[in-house]
Amino acid sequence: MIIRLLKGSGVYFALTVIFTAAVTLLDLAGPRIVGYSVDSLLSGKPELLPLTAAAVLLIAIAAAAFRYLAQICNARGTEGLVKRTRDLLYSHIVRLPFSWYQEVHTGDIIQRCTSDVETIKNFISEQLSELLRIIMLIVLSLVFMAGIHTRLTLCAALMIPVVVLYSMYFHGRMRSAFLKADVEEGKLSAIAQENLTGIRVVRAFGRENYERKRFEKKNNSYTEMWVELMRLGAVFWAANDLIGWLQILIIVALGAYFCVGGELSAGDYLAFISYNIMLSRPVRNLGRVISEKSKADVSLDRIRFILDSTVEEDGGALRPSLNGDILLKDIHFSYAGDTKEVLNGLNMKLKAGGTTGILGATGSGKSTLMYLLDKLYPLPEGQGEISIGGVDIRDIDTAYLRNNTGFVLQEPYLFSGTLAENIAVSVDEADKELIAEAAETSMLSEAAERLDHGYDTFVGERGVTLSGGQKQRAAIARMLIKRPQICIFDDSLSAVDAQTDLKIRRSVTKRTKGSTVILISHRVMTLMNADRIYVMDKGRILEEGTHEELIEKDGIYRVIYELQTS
């Protein structure tokens, strides 16, 4: 996974490794020169001090230059990694099937794409890039120390496996704690996102205190998990510091003993102490890398979950004309994990270029039927057939089908932008005349003219500044501007009055002439002029015919008609 994310940034990280290695070698040369200088001074050769001082100064300047280059390359590589990760996540997310979004909370998706990416970035930029330096410092410090005094070097090296073992122990515990905290953060983000987008509902029902308490309860749980994680970290770092200082104390004491005994010169003793300090720091940092890896592992798994999720498959490659009759034969469908069928042996014919009305109670399967037609849900093999002009939609290119199908939902989604941008979002380019024409057809132009800045008015997130009827009409205009061959109105006129409903239907009928129109509604007045009307209940067709034919029957349609017109 890391290699996949590093693609395009590998050169910068390779340069970081090279410059870091150079810094490490220069840092290791310093103590040896200082030790040589001390011994030269004690042996009566002060004339060598200017040379050694110049050497130390040159080494410091070179180390500073390489350290600067290492940090620049590391920053470029890290930011490139973050950009690639976000690009990969976003491009993958938009290709995931519609059903995937019903299983994963939006807040959790956002948290994976932000906090988890940031965790990986911090690990790679601060820990992984430092790992080579740590290994080099440990190995080379031991080599230099062994060249000075072998037995003392063995004493210094004994602490390394101790640090690694207890770091591995804490790695498992911290990984588990961080996973729980990360999941809890996703739930907290989901609550915040839901309340911010649904603030009008919260305010309308006076549920501010209830939602505040719900958020605080989840926030307290999240905080307690992080406190537990910090407690583990505190124990880990306290033990790390204790072992590090004990190791330094032992080496200082033993080194002094060997120096007094004549086994070490004063210069070698100082050099050995310097190398030991250089050794103890990377050993402690090695423990840090191991502990931080536990967090990065969790974040990588959470990102891997998204990138490994199966994208929407498109087995079809045909691009036939979509002006033919739409046939639905013996359709059976149930949602994943649910044995109850939403559609049960449904058969329907939608005449090409005509208008078909679908009436039914909530839960009768009307919207599901349209999702199947638009391939938002794949129809499983053996569960029936949906064809357009005799071509099975499984064999039709999905992007082509959706580009030529207009869908207006009962609860339209408007993006955070201007009214004009929301109307034109379904096409690549649209001038003001085309936008105004579509708005005129959907009876939105009068409302748009009353806005402060007309079509350039900022409508807010989810169109919060518009009424329900205005949002529905904006969604209709957005669909009409692309002139699709199939137009689906899924109860999309429920928020407008009957008179406006009639005006919009007449205007839309002229605009969509030649297209296959599907009207889904609870309102008989919306459907009565359709060429054919189907009455659905519990996934089945109970009645079908024209308005006049259904009125003649003593059935559900007539009962609903009389209730709505009495």
SS3 string, 172-211, reads HHHHHHHHHHHHHHHHHHHHHHHHHHCHHHHHHCCCHHHH
- Residue 450's pLDDT is 83
Please check whether residues 288 and 407 belong to one and the same domain.
no
Task: For strands 532-537 and 540-545, give the pairing.
Answer: antiparallel
- 531 pLDDT exceeds 70? yes
Q: Does residue 135 form part of some domain?
A: yes
pLDDT digits (tens, 9 = 90+) for 338-347: 778 889 888 9
Check residue 358 and give its pLDDT. 92
Among the ranges given (43-47, 49-53, 128-132, 172-176), the one the predictor scored with the smallest mean pLDDT: 43-47
Does pLDDT of 512 surpass 90?
A: no
* pLDDT 10s digits, 486-503: 988 887 776 666 777 777
Which range of residues forms the domain containing residue 98? 2-307
Look at residue 15 and tell me if it is in a domain: yes
Chain centre distance of CA 470: 31
Instruction: List the CATH number of the domain containing 108.
Output: 1.20.1560.10
Checking if the pLDDT of 44 tops 70, the result is: no
Q: Are 212 and 141 found together in one domain?
A: yes
pLDDT of the residue at 63: 85
Containing H/E element for 11? helix 10-42
Confidence band (pLDDT; 50, 70, 90) for 29? confident
Q: Is 90 exceeded by the pLDDT of residue 475?
A: no
DSSP state of 356: E
Q: Which range among 126-140, 285-299, 434-448 has the greatest average pLDDT?
A: 434-448
pLDDT tier at 468 (50, 70, 90 boundaries)? confident
* 367, part of any domain: yes
Answer yes or no: is 248 within a domain. yes
Going by pLDDT thresholds of 50, 70 and 90, the confidence category of residue 45 is low
**98 closest CA partner among 333, 400, 375, 427:** 375
Asked whether residue 516 is domain-assigned, the answer is: yes
State the pLDDT at residue 1: 67
Same domain, 192 and 225: yes
Tokens 């969790």 appear where? 298
pLDDT score recorded for residue 327: 93
Do 559 and 413 share a structural domain? Answer: yes
pLDDT band at 49 (very low <50, low <70, confident <90, very high): low
Number of domains in the chain: 2
Task: Indicate whether 202 and 351 sit together in one domain.
Answer: no
Q: Is residue 317 one of the residues assigned to a domain? A: no
Which residues have C-beta within 8 Å of that of residue 449, sequence separation ≥ 6?
none
Position 43 confidence tier, pLDDT thresholds 50, 70, 90: low
| Structure-model confidence comparison of residues 10 and 390, the more confident one | 390
For 206-227, how does the pLDDT look when each residue is reduced to its tens digit (9 = 90+)? 778 888 888 888 888 888 888 8
Provide the percentage of residues in the chain whose pLDDT is more than 90.
7
Name every residue whose Cβ is closer than 8 Å to that of residue 565 and which is 6 or more positions away in sequence.
Answer: 524, 525
What is the structure's pLDDT at 46?
62
pTM greater than 0.75: no
The pair of three-digit structure tokens given for residue 281, joined into one six-digit string: 């720091």
Same domain (yes/no): 466, 547:
yes
47 vs 389: which has the higher pLDDT: 389
How would residue 38 be classed by pLDDT, with cut points 50, 70 and 90?
low
- The arithmetic mean of pLDDT across residues 476-487, rounded, is 87
Note the pLDDT tens digit of each residue in 384-404: 999 999 999 989 998 888 888
- pLDDT at res. 13: 82
37: confidence class by pLDDT, cuts 50, 70, 90: low
Per residue in 84-106, pLDDT (tens digit) is: 888 999 999 988 888 888 788 77
- Supply the mean pLDDT for the chain: 82
Domain boundary among 255, 272, 307: 307
* DSSP per-residue codes, 443-484: T-HHHHHHSTTGGG-B--GGGTTS-HHHHHHHHHHHHHTT--
Residues 360, 536 contacting (CB under 8 angstroms):
yes
Report if residue 490 sits inside a domain.
yes
- Looking at residue 194, what is its pLDDT? 74
pLDDT on residue 386:
92
